[in-house]
Amino acid sequence: MTNTRTTAVRSWSRRLFLAAAGSAAIMSGASFSAIAQEDDWEKVIEAGKKEGSLVLYTAYVGQPSTKAIADAFTAEYGISVEVLEARASEIRERVRVEQAAGRYAVDVMFTSEGQTRLYDLEDKSIDPLPVTPNSGKVRDQFKLEVPMASVMTIPYGMLVNTRLVPENEIPKKWTDLTDPKWKGKILADDPRAIGGGYSWWFSTYDKIGEDFHKKMGEQQLTFTRDQRESQRRVARGEYAIYIPLILTDAPGLEGLPVQAVIPEEGVPYVLYGNVLLKNAPHPNAAKLYIDFLQSPAAQKIYAELGHGPVVDGVTEGLPDNIRALSEAKLLGTSDSRRQNEMLEKAKAIYK
Amino acid sequence: MTIAYNRSSGVDASTQLRGNAFTRAFSGGTLGRNIGMAVLIFILGFLTLYPLSMLLYGSLHSTPPGMAGEFNLAGYRAILTAQNLLVLVNTVGISLAKTIPSLSIAVLLAWIIARTDTPFRGTLEVLITLPFFIPPILTAMAWGMLGNPQVGVINMAWRWLTGAEEPLVNVYSYGGVIWHMCQYSIPFLFLFIVDAFRAMDPSLEESSRMCGASRWSTFRKITLVLMLPVLTSSFMLSFIRGIESFESPLFFGTPAGITVITTEIYESINHRATPDYQYATALSFAILGLMFLLVLWQWSLLRGKSFQTVTGKGFRPNVIELGPWRWVTFGFCVLFFFVTVVLPVGQLLLGSFFRFFGFYTYDMLTLEHYRAVFANSEFWRAMRNTMTLGLLGATATMVLGAIVAYVSVRTKWKGRRLIDVMAWLPWMMPGMVLGVGFLWAFAMLPGPLPIYGTIWALLLAYIALGTPVATRVMTGSYHQLSYDLEECSRVHGATWFQTMWRILVALAWPAFAVGWVLTFFGIMRELSASILLYSVGSEVLSVVLLKLWTNGNAEQVSVIGLMMMLLVILFRWVQLRVIKSRISKL
Amino acid sequence: MASVTLENVSRVYGAVTAVDGVDLKIRSGEFVTLLGPSGCGKTTTLRMVAGLEKNTGGRISIGDNVVSDADSNYFVPSERRRLGMVFQSYAIWPHMTVFDNVAYPLRIRRRPAAEIRERVMGALRLVEMEQYAERPSPALSGGQQQRVAIARALVFEPEVLLLDEPLSNLDARLRTQMGDEFRQLQQRLKITALYVTHDQAEAMALSDRVVVMHGGKILQVGAPEEIYQRPESRQVAAFFGTPNLLAAKVKDCRPNGGAVFKLSVEGQGWSGECHAATEMTKGADVTVMVRPENLQVCEAAKANGGLSWSGEVVQAIFRGSHRSIVVKTPAQKLNVEASSLADVGVGRTVTIAAPPEAAWAVCSE
């Protein structure tokens, strides 16, 4: 395993120059020159293995993918991964306090783009991203200003109860939901609080327009704050439609009288990725992990779960239903800089 | 007002002054006592005042601890809005609306179980407390399935029976929020007061009936008044908990547009662009201030009265013979059991054998959820951690609670009021805010104190969180014991510690055991602080449950919930059996 | 068994003095009763001996050992004083069986199990409760609980046995019976006992000596007869029963052998002879005590040497063993316990008389 990997490293090492040079415009010059040497990555691997372990905090709670990828990483490098899971605000406060108290426990954090901005600007708890062999392969769209190494997207669609909604009436577009026949029949994650509902609101507001939401405001949406339970409520027939459905949950709902819909306009999404913590106790292992998650192997694991990958060419050969999810057209995502403004707007429209 | 049998009434005027003369004997102030008190204050201070002071800092500082900022009152100014006043009225209203009926039903149930000859009351005693031990999210889900207006089982049955169009119940409403809270309050209050009923000398009631009072007015004027310490304590615990209840309003209230203080706090931390800790902590302190008034009210209510119902004069075990009425009380208990346990737990049990909750067809039948749970190594590791923490934590908490209660109820030591208040504090802070307080407190400790990031952080937080209940349970129990029992032991050669253990703990054992079970399952359920304090490798059950739930594995969560319930039955059974064999009083 | 010595013992609560300079020595094997009305300080005194309260002044010793000395702030806690105590409420621990209750003082002292068994059963035999050993203690009657409490207090052979109104929760018949039994036991085992009660009959029947207390002070210490017949003060006199207390002036005083003086006194419309403990000056105001049971209804002429009064019967109550009558004399109303056979109806004029030895004079305060 290690042997094949080593040759693999060699083979792309040559390409590293190109990749790194291509992304140099957005990467910091210092890290570029530090790693640009042919043998430097080998040294990182060496040092990372010596560190032997790695602590990962993740805000993406309860996902089996976390363990699957950690196991793959351990198999690759022999570096064990210790994972601590908690919700975004909890993770952030833990990291902030740990850093303030000088207890540097964590190396890498798996979190969203919006949270990264807070870590970077307010808490100043994260380091600039290293340029790594795989970082260059990331699609331009997912190369960010903030120091987060993009990993995958969580796409949002609709969930429709097939017992209540005949085949031909299943909405195909977000705008279909404004049809008066859905009045009082839609269950929705609350757009007035940060979460899935808010992401849906933000991107559809931006891409489809305020009019759409004004009409949605007439539809007497019922708001909840528990996404998984809401899916079940629609399945049991309390409501005909649930928005926005975390599309990667769809495979788990097989067997229930529901159908996941990928709207034609595209799917709102949340972008997740890794950040490197300041004073990380295992900095080299951390770099290896950040790199590994952008590798085809890890990207494929996410694509197989229906997440949108951030590199090309990993969706081939997937079952059709999964491929549809991971290749779903992306509509847009939220921008944490406009959060307060958009929350206010949501409260004005959805009273 | 006839308060209680008082050993010394009218015999010796100096007893009016004596209070607890047993400890007055030491009023000269011995070194040991002062050191003991100082240690107690230090422990409680570390567990309660220290995290709270971090939170107080947070409420007065523009940024949380560890960040540059300035002191200001912006947090407190921000909470003074008309909307928050409405939220407050809403919260208090909901809490009162659930506490009063809960307490009434709990008193009735406790009386039935402890003082009447209702058949099968031993079994019923264990069964009717079960709902308390199920994770709230599970019963919320179960009630959502039973009582949603569209396809809820209850409403479907109602429509089928009556042909009506309109649903009978809608759990997504004020009623639903209150109902769901009641399911937790009633068993909690019941556990809290049933032993107080049991420990009462029936002659106190009999003498009232001899004086011509009817059964009902005896119940009202003697039984309830004698229960005053327990009833007021449990009322306060329940009322405050109602104000801090989070799951019920989130689950059933949010869809109906009902906002309470906890959902407001939750939103300010989790659903704003940046978590507004200053606002959240300021709001919590405002609540704490209001709650503190309740404590003062209880003090004034109990001042100068004696509630000693367990006297050195033994009493015969005596239950009221209800005749044919006992089947009515039996029916009431069974109805309660059916509505609060069978309906929701039945759903969970049934659902755990099918692929999905609510889809009970033959082809969906499966044991995969059980297999998944049993094969989940993370679950077993968390279970081990939680059991260790639970056993250690519950025991430590109860010992601390017993000592605090002893000092505050049965001595006249200086500072006893202080520790009584300190033991109340963690209860008055909403859990999710207090969790942050523990995080700040433990992480900001000076370097050489390795608490943060270890299992000790969890243990200390659990002890702090459990202390209010532990102290209240023991306080109620101690109020009932007459001083003779204690003094007699001292005179016959037992030291203070021997007396504490062999007489007071032994006599208060039923309360101790109930408190232990409450604390143990409090620890099992605790999430707010756990998720902020657990470290890699020290996962606890609640975190695993959150992960499973977040991943949409509600059925696996129920499997674990049902296992927890089995554990409760086991604990309670052992406890009641031990009591039966050890404590000949009952 | 040890003696108990109280030297100038006081207990002050804030501004209130509950016990004020009590001096008392209880000899080994003696049964001493503290008697007095509510609030007289008797229970506080007992509790100070028990170590349940700390004396604010004076010194308490048990045997040769000082157990509490307020001046040097020396205090031996209860559990190290080797006492046995019976509480008013019995303080039977409801969570233990009879056996466990009695075994407690021995178990605390870590005696071997065989010895515990033997001594507990011995103690229970003493109070005739052996057959109840395994009973849950709350299921006992009051009298049985009392016996258990006594057995528990005796089981480890304490230096001193303290009893705080142990009989007050029993009914009248049982009280007498238990009292007699306890007195027998005490005499047989030669236990030093300090007993607190407000019941004078109980005090007299049980004690070797009675200590009458009032307002935190000792009024008189003496054998029951002495206290009853020859009180030192009007207060002590008034404490027992309903004695007739008559104001009088001393006409003459002379020694009558021993420590007793013979007085001639004159009251309002009566005169005669009586006894007193101290020498009185002529013309001094005294109170003459005559107990109702010592007054006899008789013919006027027969009142020679003693005291006599005449008056109208204003109240007569038949009590079975005797007849309580009230005679209105020029001096005051007098209570008389006449024979139940005497024919004295309301409205009759009678003469009542008492022999000199039945009249006892004390100084008027």
Q: Strands (DSSP E) along B325-471, which ranges?
A: none
Place of tokens 């001996």: C49
Which residues 206-225 of A have a C-beta within 8 angstroms of B?
A: 222-225
Q: What is the mean pLDDT of residues B306-335?
A: 75
Range B242-245 contact pairs with CB under 8 angstroms and sequence separation of 24 or more: B242/B94, B242/B95, B242/B96, B242/B98, B242/B99, B242/B181, B242/B185, B243/B91, B243/B92, B243/B95, B243/B287, B243/B291, B244/B287, B244/B429, B244/B430, B244/B431, B245/B95, B245/B181, B245/B184
Which one of B148, B254, B443 has the shortest CB-CB distance to A225? Answer: B254
| pLDDT given for residue A182 in this prediction | 94
Q: Where are the domains of chain B?
A: 19-353+364-582
Cβ atoms C236, C227 nearer than 8 A: yes
C307-318 β-sheet, strand order: C296-298, C349-354, C307-318, C322-328, C333-339
Range A68-71 contact pairs with CB under 8 angstroms and sequence separation of 24 or more: A68/A301, A69/A292, A69/A293, A69/A298, A69/A301
Q: What are C44-100's pLDDT values in tens digits? A: 999 999 988 889 999 999 988 999 998 888 888 888 888 888 888 888 887 788 898
Using CA atoms, how far apart are residues B465 and B336, in angstroms rounded to an integer?
A: 30
Among C234, C251, C286, the domain-final residue is C234
Which residues 235-254 of A have a C-beta within 8 angstroms of B?
A: 235-239, 249, 252
CA of B210 to nearest chain A CA: how many angstroms apart? 58
Res. A7: pLDDT tops 60: no
Res. A1: pLDDT tops 70: no
Residue C302 structural domain: 242-363
Q: What is the mean pLDDT of residues B208-213?
A: 64
Residue of chain C with shortest Cα separation from B8: C88
Using CA atoms, how far apart are residues B545 and B527, in angstroms rounded to an integer?
A: 9
**CB atoms A62 and B453 under 8 Å:** no
Contact between chain A and chain C (3 or more Cβ pairs less than 8 Å apart): no
CATH of B19-353+364-582, one of 3.40.50.1970, 1.10.3720.10, 3.40.50.970, 1.20.1250.20: 1.10.3720.10
| Chain A residues with beta carbon closer than 8 angstroms to that of B254 | 190, 223-225
Neighbours of chain B (3+ CB pairs under 8 A): A, C
**CB atoms B64 and A87 under 8 Å:** no
| pLDDT given for residue A10 in this prediction | 42
Cβ atoms B141, B356 nearer than 8 A: no
Using CA atoms, how far apart are residues A272 and A58, in angstroms rounded to an integer?
A: 10
Mutate to test the interface with B, among A120, A236, A334 (most CBs of B within 10 A): A236
Cα B25 from chain centre: 35
Question: For A147-267, where are the alpha helices, taking DSSP H only?
Answer: 196-207, 210-217, 227-235
Which one of B12, B317, B490 has the shortest CB-CB distance to C38? Answer: B12
Contact between chain A and chain B (3 or more Cβ pairs less than 8 Å apart): yes
| pLDDT given for residue A5 in this prediction | 43
Q: What is the mean pLDDT of residues A274-290?
A: 93
Q: What are C194-213's pLDDT values in tens digits? A: 999 988 888 888 999 999 99
Cβ atoms A159, A241 nearer than 8 A: yes
Q: What is the mean pLDDT of residues B192-218?
A: 71
Using CA atoms, how far apart are residues B543 and B557, in angstroms rounded to an integer?
A: 11
CA of B80 to nearest chain A CA: how many angstroms apart? 19
| pLDDT given for residue B210 in this prediction | 64
Residue of chain C with shortest Cα separation from B494: C79
Q: What is the mean pLDDT of residues C300-327?
A: 80
- A60 secondary structure, DSSP code: S
| Chain A residues with beta carbon closer than 8 angstroms to that of B359 | 235-236, 255-256
Residue A55's closest CA among A4, A91, A7, A5? A91
- Angle at CA A61, nearest 5°, toward A100 and A64? 130
| Residue C260: band (very low, low, confident or very high) from pLDDT cuts 50, 70, 90 | confident
Cα C218 from chain centre: 12
Torsion sign across C-alpha atoms B229, B232, B235, B241: negative
| pLDDT given for residue A259 in this prediction | 94
Mutate to test the interface with B, among A56, A63, A90 (most CBs of B within 10 A): A90
Q: What are B68-107's pLDDT values in tens digits? A: 788 888 888 888 888 888 899 999 999 999 999 999 999 9
Neighbours of chain C (3+ CB pairs under 8 A): B
Q: Show the tokens assigned to B399.
A: 């010992």
Res. C29: pLDDT tops 60: yes
Res. C306: pLDDT tops 90: no
* Interchain contact B208–A (C-beta under 8 A): no
Res. A233: pLDDT tops 70: yes
CA of B547 to nearest chain A CA: how many angstroms apart? 4
Which one of A64, A102, A256 has the shortest CB-CB distance to B356? Answer: A256
Using CA atoms, how far apart are residues C124 and C102, in angstroms rounded to an integer?
A: 8
Judged by DSSP in three states, A155 sits in strand
Residue of chain B with shortest Cα separation from A341: B273
Q: What is the mean pLDDT of residues C16-35?
A: 92
* Interchain contact B66–A (C-beta under 8 A): yes
CA of B545 to nearest chain A CA: how many angstroms apart? 9
Same domain? For C227 and C291 the reply is no
| Residue B581: band (very low, low, confident or very high) from pLDDT cuts 50, 70, 90 | low
Q: What is the mean pLDDT of residues B201-220?
A: 67
Main-chain phi, psi angles of C23, to 5 degrees: -115, 125
Q: What is the mean pLDDT of residues A66-94?
A: 91
Give the CATH number for residue C98: 3.40.50.300
Using CA atoms, how far apart are residues C326 and C345, in angstroms rounded to an integer?
A: 10
Residue C235's closest CA among C165, C293, C289, C291? C289
| pLDDT given for residue A13 in this prediction | 42
Max Cα-Cα span within chain A: 64
β-pair partners for B71: B61
Res. A316: pLDDT tops 70: yes
CA of A296 to nearest chain B CA: how many angstroms apart? 25
Give the CATH number for residue C276: 2.40.50.140
CA of B234 to nearest chain C CA: how many angstroms apart? 25
Using CA atoms, how far apart are residues B553 and A62, in angstroms rounded to an integer?
A: 9
Which one of A83, A93, A336 has the shortest CB-CB distance to B532? Answer: A93
Cβ atoms B66, B150 nearer than 8 A: no
Q: For chain A, which domains are there?
A: 2-152+270-326 (3.40.190.10), 156-269+331-349 (3.40.190.10)
Judged by DSSP in three states, C193 sits in strand
- Angle at CA A107, nearest 5°, toward A249 and B434? 75
| Residue A244 preceded by cis peptide, ω within 30 | yes
Cβ atoms B514, B520 nearer than 8 A: no
| Residue B123: band (very low, low, confident or very high) from pLDDT cuts 50, 70, 90 | confident
Res. C314: pLDDT tops 60: yes
Which one of B151, B270, B536 has the shortest CB-CB distance to A84? Answer: B536
| Residue B458: band (very low, low, confident or very high) from pLDDT cuts 50, 70, 90 | very high
Which residues 298-337 of B have a C-beta within 8 angstroms of A?
A: none
Res. A31: pLDDT tops 60: no
Lowest mean pLDDT among A38-42, A297-301, B156-160, B338-342: A38-42
β-pair partners for C362: C287
Which residues 551-570 of B have a C-beta within 8 angstroms of A?
A: 551-554
What contacts B427, CB < 8 A, 6 or more positions away? B237, B240, B241, B468, B469
| Residue B20: band (very low, low, confident or very high) from pLDDT cuts 50, 70, 90 | very low
From first CA to last CA, the distance across chain A in angstroms is: 57
Torsion sign across C-alpha atoms C237, C239, C240, C245: positive
- Angle at CA A329, nearest 5°, toward A323 and A330? 120
Mutate to test the interface with C, among B500, B584, B585, B586 (most CBs of C within 10 A): B584
Q: How many domains does chain C have?
A: 2
Q: What are A320-344's pLDDT values in tens digits? A: 889 999 899 999 998 888 888 898 8
Using CA atoms, how far apart are residues C86 and A47, in angstroms rounded to an integer?
A: 79
Res. B530: pLDDT tops 70: yes
Same domain? For C120 and C153 the reply is yes
**CB atoms A97 and B66 under 8 Å:** yes
Place of tokens 């395994």: C134
**CB atoms A63 and B551 under 8 Å:** yes
Decide which of C23 and B127 is more confident: C23
Question: In sequence order, what DSSP letters do the residues of C39-57 get, joined into one string?
Answer: TSSHHHHHHHHHTSS--SE
Contact between chain C and chain B (3 or more Cβ pairs less than 8 Å apart): yes
CA of C76 to nearest chain B CA: how many angstroms apart? 10
Lowest mean pLDDT among A133-142, C22-31, C114-123, C303-312: C303-312
Cβ atoms B156, B268 nearer than 8 A: no
Q: Strands (DSSP E) along chain A, which ranges?
A: 53-58, 80-85, 108-112, 149-161, 186-189, 222-224, 241-246, 258-261, 267-276, 308-309, 330-332
| pLDDT given for residue B330 in this prediction | 92
Which one of B67, B358, B439 has the shortest CB-CB distance to A236? Answer: B358
| pLDDT given for residue B364 in this prediction | 83
Q: What are B369-382's pLDDT values in tens digits? A: 999 999 988 899 99
**CB atoms A101 and B273 under 8 Å:** no
**CB atoms B25 and C77 under 8 Å:** yes
Size (chain A), residues: 351
C-alpha distances in Å from residue A311, one per residue of A143, A281, A300, C332: 11, 29, 10, 121
CA of B359 to nearest chain A CA: how many angstroms apart? 8
CA of B210 to nearest chain C CA: how many angstroms apart? 18
CA of A47 to nearest chain B CA: how many angstroms apart? 23
| Chain C residues with beta carbon closer than 8 angstroms to that of B585 | 94-95, 136, 138
Question: For chain C, where are the alpha helices, taking DSSP H only?
Answer: 42-50, 98-108, 113-126, 142-154, 172-189, 200-206, 224-229, 234-239
Mutate to test the interface with B, among C42, C47, C155, C199 (most CBs of B within 10 A): C47
| pLDDT given for residue A4 in this prediction | 42
β-pair partners for C22: C9
Q: Show the tokens assigned to A346.
A: 């949501």
